[in-house]
Structure 1
Amino acid sequence: MKPLIRVQADVAELTRALAAALDGGPAVWPVPEVGGAAAGDAAAVATEVDDRIALVVETSGSTDAPKRVLLSADALVASADATHDALGSTGQWLLALPGHYIAGAQVIVRGLVAGTETVALPAGAFDPAAFAEASARMHDHVPHYTSLVPTQLARLLDAAERDAFVGAALRSFDAVLVGGQALAPVLAERAEAAGVRVVRTYGSSETAGGCVYDGVPIGDTRIRFVDGRIELGGSSLADGYLDDPDRTAAAFVAERGTRWYRTGDLGELDGVTGRLRVRGRADDVMISGGVKVVLGEVERAVRRLEGFDAAVVVAVPDAEWGERAAVVVAASVGDAAAVLLRLRETTDAAGLGPAARPVHLVVADPWPTLASGKPDRRALAALAANAATAD
C-alpha cells in the first residue's frame, strides 16, 4: 500500500505530483480547491491505495452519484501511448480543461509521457482570447494538440468569427480532441468549415479518458455489446472505485482472462463504416405508447437543427402515452408551435417514429450545469416535468 495525497488542481503542482505518481510515488487525488467540498469529502475515505494506483479521479455525476475511480500508472501510460499512436506522433499539449477531471489530468500525463512541457490556460472561466494567447506560447517544432468539450469548441468558433487571431490559433492544432458529451452535427460541420481538425473521442474516467476516436478503438481497446450496452476492454481500464467494492463488481467483469468495463451507454457498430455509434444512455430510455425510445437518438436528431446544437431531450409524464419527449433549450428559439413542428419533422426524417416526436419545448434560464460544465440532466428533467404538468 502507498499514500493517497490530495493535490489542488494547480497545473504546476499537479504535474509534479503526477510525474512522481507515474514513477511509483504517492497516488494523486486532484481536487478543485484546497478546503473545497471535494477535499472535505475526501477526509472520510481511504488515505492509502494499492501500490499500482497513480491517480484517483472523481466522476462528474452527470447521470449518477459521483464515483472515485482508481487508475494505475500502467493504465494512464497505455492511454497516453494509444492517443499518440492514433494521432501519429507525440507532441505538445495545451491544457484547457480542469485537472481534477480525467480529460484534464490525461492531458498532463500525455505531456509527461511525450517529454514536452504542457501549456495551460489561466485558472478561471474558459476564455477564447486566453486560449489563443496560450497557443502562441507552444513550440513550433512539434505537433500541437488540445482537448476540449463541445461548449468550449462552440465558444472558440464563435470568437473566431470575430477575431482572426483566435481562428488562426484554433487551426494551428494538429488535432483537437472533443469529448465529454456528444458533439452536435451542426457544431462538427462548423468546425470542419473553419478548418479545425476535430477528433471525436469516446471514453470515461473508467477507461483513463477517450479510448475510441472517431468511432474506432485506439491502442488495444476492445468493444463488445451485451444486451445493446457498450462494454470496453483493454490496458487503459481502471482498477475499480475507491472504497466501493459493490460498484466495482457491478461495473467491471472478467471473462476468459479479459476484463470488461460495463458502460452506461447503448451502442452498435455502423453497418456501413464499422465504426462505433453511441445511441444514448442505457438509463435514458422512455416507454412512449408502448414503444421503447432511446432519448439520445432523439437528441442527436434535434441537434441537427440550427440553434439546437446544445439542446437536451428528456422524458416527461404524459397521461395518454405514459411518457413523451421534451426538448430543453437555454433561450427562446421562436414560436413554440412552429418550432415543435420542425422538431417533429426532424425526428420523423431520422426514422424515429411517432413515439419519439417531441411534444414540449422548455426554456431553462438559467441553464443548470454540473461542476464539469456538462448539463445537469436531472435538473433539466425536473424542470421539464414541471413545465409539462403546468401546460
Structure 2
Amino acid sequence: MTTITLPTPDGGRIEHALNEPRDWPKPQRPFRSRVAFAAAHVVAHPLADNTPGTPAALDWDSTLAFRRHLWSHGLGVAEAMDTAQRGMGMDWPATRELIRRSAAEAASAGTRIAAGAGTDQLDGPATTLDEVVAAYEEQIGTIQDAGAQVIIMASRHLAALARSVDDYRAVYDRVLAQVDSPVILHWLGPAFDPALQGYWGSDDVDVATGHVVDLVRDHASMIDGVKVSLLDADHEKAFRAQLPAGVRLYTGDDFNYPELIRGDGAHHSDALLGVFAAIAPAASAALQALDDGDDNAYDAAFAPTLPLARHIFGAPTYYYKTGVAFLSWLSGFQAGFTMVGGLQSARSLPHLVEAFRLADAARLFPDPELAAARMTALLETYGTPPPPSR
C-alpha cells in the first residue's frame, strides 16, 4: 500500500494511504444514449518561456497523447475551448496549430472532434460588428478546413461592443448563415469568464435565455446543440425543455452533471465538460452503464467524482484549468506541472492537496505510487516542513 504524509489545513500532518488503482473498462462501441465531449487542456513545453504575455509554447507530443487518452475512453474531444486556456495564455497562432494537429489526429483515428471558434485574434477591442463577424469567419474557416465540427464560442469582443440583443442577432445571424454543417453554440457564464456578463443582451438570465431560444428556433437546421455553462441545474432543465426537437443541450455544469446527463425521463443533457478531461475513465464507465440501463453502476462511477469536480471548479471558477493540468501530471500524462501563462501558480498548495485527496478517493490515479511520488516532490518544492524525526 502506497502512503504519503500530507499537510492539513490547520498546519498539521496526516498519513494518507492511497487506494489501489481501479480497472476502468474501456468501451467496445460508441456510446448510444448520450453524446459526450471532454474539453481538453494543453500541456506546456517545460523548457519554453511560457511566462504571462508570451506566445504559448506547447509540448505537442504530450498534448496530443492526452487527446488519444480521451478518445480511448470513448469521449469526443472539444478542442481549443476555455479548458485549453483560450483567453488565458493561448494565443491564436498556437490555437490554430492546435486545431489542425488535433483534427488530423482525430481523422486518422476515426474519432470525434469539435473545436471552438472565437474572436481572440483581434488586437484590442472591436469597433464594429463587422470586425467581430470577420474574426468569427476566419476561425470557423480554419476549423472547417481541418475537418472538425464548429463550436461558436462566446466572444469577449462582442460582449464589450454589443448594446442590445439586436447586435448579438446581427452577428450570429450572419455567422450561422455561412457554416457548412450544424454547429454547437457556446454560452459561457460569468463564473467562467467575468467579461461575458450580460451575454445575449441582458443581465437577466431568463431574458437572455429567451433570446437564445429565439435564435436557435430561427436557425435550428444549422444548430446541433447549445452548450450551457451557467452552473445552474434548474435553469438548464427549464432551458433544454424549450429547445426545438433535434437540438441538443450540452451540459457544461461541472457541479451537477450526473443528474443532468441522467435526465428526468422527459429530457436529458448531453455533455461537453471540462471536468471530463480530469475524470475520463469514470465518465466513460458511467456512460457505458447508462447505455446498459444500469443505474447503480452509473451512480457508482459518477458519485465519487462529484466532490472532486466541485472542488476543482470552486471560485474563482476560471482557474479550474490548473486542477485539470495538475491531475494530468499526477496521473503520468505529462512530464511536468507547468502551464502556458504560468497558470500553475493560480491555485494554492492546500487546494492542490485537497484535489489530490479527492482524486484518490475517486480512484482516478492509474499509478498511485507515481502520484504519491510527484505529490511528495511538489510538497518539498513548496517547502512544507518534513515530518518529525522518530
TM interval, shorter chain, is 0.3 to 0.5
User: Going by fraction, where is helix more abundant, 1 or 2?
Assistant: 2
More strand by share: 1
**Structure of higher RCO (CA pairs closer than 8 Å, 6+ residues apart):** 2
TM-score (norm 2): 0.33
